[in-house]
Structure 1
């Protein structure tokens, strides 16, 4: 069935039935908008697009079989003319960047009101970009800083010698220096020397802080060969 001229056809991609039904009822209150269908997964998004030829898709970011970004990318691969607006509870920078990379014109939170959502749909259907350049630049800057910080953390962990890694692993198990010395059959003074090296490389002021940083940075304790051989 052909829609009246000027009527914007909307496809909902939302896995929660109650939310989808609420959005459908809300958008039907606007004379220039019509919801033509509802997909509840990434897998359903393209077949529904093929069947219904919507002007735009209003997509949740978290879907049961993937992300809204995947759904958006598949929809636009099938029909680049379909405008995309995300409506999600996910406030993370990663979600916003993934949405932009998938071709989204806008990204709204689920706390948005009906008029705001309707306005975003109209703007996206008209080819407007709703994500301010300043917001995107700030997100990209935070993303670069996070990547730089992660690289620095990995570099510090990788700078530990094999013995330092072994001792740090025992520290994460709660062993003190004397217990570590006994476990590794090395002197207490040698353990202290290695611990000082660990603290320096991790820029930690205490062994507790070193253990906390190691855990936060994803350090995976290695199993000492003697522990593997111990039948008990």
Structure 2
């Protein structure tokens, strides 16, 4: 029989019953760990923390009413001494960064074995950080680069004039240049001039590439400008 004073108390925060029951049974096999409760949502995690006083919260990242990072934030706002370990199927850099920002001690994938999970819980309870500094630095570097690239893409899209956005929107619908000219009541030569401007601003070699980039970058055409010229030559 387990000796209560030596136990590390664990709260499970997991919305899938079968997973929670499996984890409960798994952790109950370790003499120094005990699961004190199970919450299936962000909202339920806080009152259960207050009621059960766990030392470690083992949290899934995807929950029905928010993220595990939100649950961790609320739990640690209530009791900063509760250590948090994430157990998730989400492998994204965004999830890991959110977990770190929420004060997580560790971030494990659901493919982890029982001994790995138990060791992570013990280490977290002892105040150790299980996310290697190198891994975090690599994730931060990728995040900075993706942020920089996204900013460049946004800047390129925002550099398009209202007329260029109109024409690009028609291009994405598969409308050819002559049909664009007819639809906008402008000359074919004017359409070609605008298309060249679009290709230059999006750094595209063809209209097809411009359309592909616009779609990838989340292009949303601006509302038609009532002051735009309608009789360009």
Over residues 181-214 of structure 1, what are the superposed CA-to-partner deviations in whole Å (9 max), with x where a residue is unaligned?
1111111111111101100110111101101111
**Partners of 2:44 and 2:97 in 1: CA distance:** 23
Aligned residue number for residue 217 of structure 2? 217
**Partners of 2:187 and 2:54 in 1: CA distance:** 73
Aligned residue number for residue 19 of structure 2? 19
**Partners of 2:147 and 2:120 in 1: CA distance:** 31
Contact 2:162 2:224 in 1 (8 A): no
TM-score, L = length of structure 1: 0.94
Contact 1:172 1:221 in 2 (8 A): no
Aligned residue number for residue 230 of structure 1? none
Distance change in 2, residues 1:13/1:4 (3 Å)? same
Aligned residue number for residue 230 of structure 2? none
**Partners of 1:65 and 1:206 in 2: CA distance:** 44
- Deviating above 3 A after TM superposition, structure 1's stretches of 4 or more consecutive aligned residues are 222-226
**Partners of 2:79 and 2:117 in 1: CA distance:** 22
Over residues 129-170 of structure 1, what are the superposed CA-to-partner deviations in whole Å (9 max), with x where a residue is unaligned?
000000001111111111100110011011111211111111
**Partners of 1:30 and 1:7 in 2: CA distance:** 10
Shift in Å, 1:223: 5.4
Contact 1:11 1:57 in 2 (8 A): yes
Shift in Å, 1:120: 0.3
Contact 1:169 1:222 in 2 (8 A): no
Root-mean-square deviation (CA), in Å?
1.2
- Structure 1 unmatched runs, 5+: 227-232
Aligned residue number for residue 154 of structure 1? 154
Which sits farther off after the overlay, 3-12 or 116-125?
A: 3-12
Contact 1:59 1:85 in 2 (8 A): yes
- Structure 2 unmatched runs, 5+: 227-233
Aligned residue number for residue 50 of structure 1? 50
Shift in Å, 1:221: 2.6
Contact 1:168 1:198 in 2 (8 A): yes
**Partners of 1:217 and 1:114 in 2: CA distance:** 41
The answer to whether residue 167 in structure 2 is matched with residue 167 in structure 1 is yes
